[in-house]
Amino acid sequence: MGIPEQAAKVLETMNRAGAIASHLHLDNAPPQRHRIAWALLRLAFDHARSMAFLIANQQWELTGSAFALARVTNDALVRGAWFALHANDDQTQRFLDKDEIPSRTMSADVEGHPPFDSFNIFTQLRNNVWDLLNSFTHSGVQAIGAYIDGETIGPAHRPEDVHAILGYAESVAVVAILILVMMTESQDPTRVEPLKADLMALVNTPK
């Protein structure tokens, strides 16, 4: 599959996941940590969709910007998952008062809760590609490498890397919506269960 075709399919998946999310809502008076989680997970979804949109619409021209979004996309996802599944009221207030996360083990914290206790995607990502993501975001060697390897001015990312970043963006988007579904499932299971089933069917659709 070529990059334009993959980007189009990824955007289609994201649009369908977004349509599912549009039917979700929090309780009338949710705890503050859930309001923060809701915002962060939507931000992660938007960042991921922006990555795919840049590649789908500009192909090679803006791939550097798509790669630069990978780290902040991950940050929003992990923080959103942490506030949704693990944070307490004191930690939430500290975040609001000081704009800092009172935990250095967010990934491990999240993976202490189902379903993430069965697959440690957050710690794997941090352990395997964290330095790479930082370099892309902070204009390091990885970020400029694709700009100095080509024969003209502009990015020249390897096709396999662009395929990989599209797959990453798609995964983040779906996981973000999955956590939103988990947050609302206990409020109205009769209404939310069909939405969860739709999301699982979307995840399991052959690519």
Q: How far apart are CA 92 and CA 85, in angstroms?
A: 12
Report pTM. Answer: 0.90
Mean pLDDT of 84-106: 92
Sign of CA dihedral 77, 33, 43, 20: positive
Sign of CA dihedral 167, 170, 174, 175: positive
pLDDT at residue 113 in the model: 93
The most confident of the ranges 84-88, 116-120, 141-145 is 84-88
pLDDT exceeds 70 at position 205: no
pLDDT exceeds 80 at position 206: no
Residue ranges covered by each domain of the chain: 3-21+53-203
Q: What tens digit of pLDDT does each residue of 164-178 get? A: 999 999 999 999 999
pLDDT above 90 covers a percentage of the chain that reads 53
SS3 117: coil
Note if the bond before 159 is cis, omega within 30 degrees: no
Q: What tens digit of pLDDT does each residue of 15-26 get? A: 999 998 998 888
Q: Which residues contact 110 (CB under 8 A, 6 or more apart)?
A: 78, 81, 82, 85, 86, 116, 122
Q: Answer for the pair 44, 201: CB distance below 8 angstroms, yes or no.
A: no
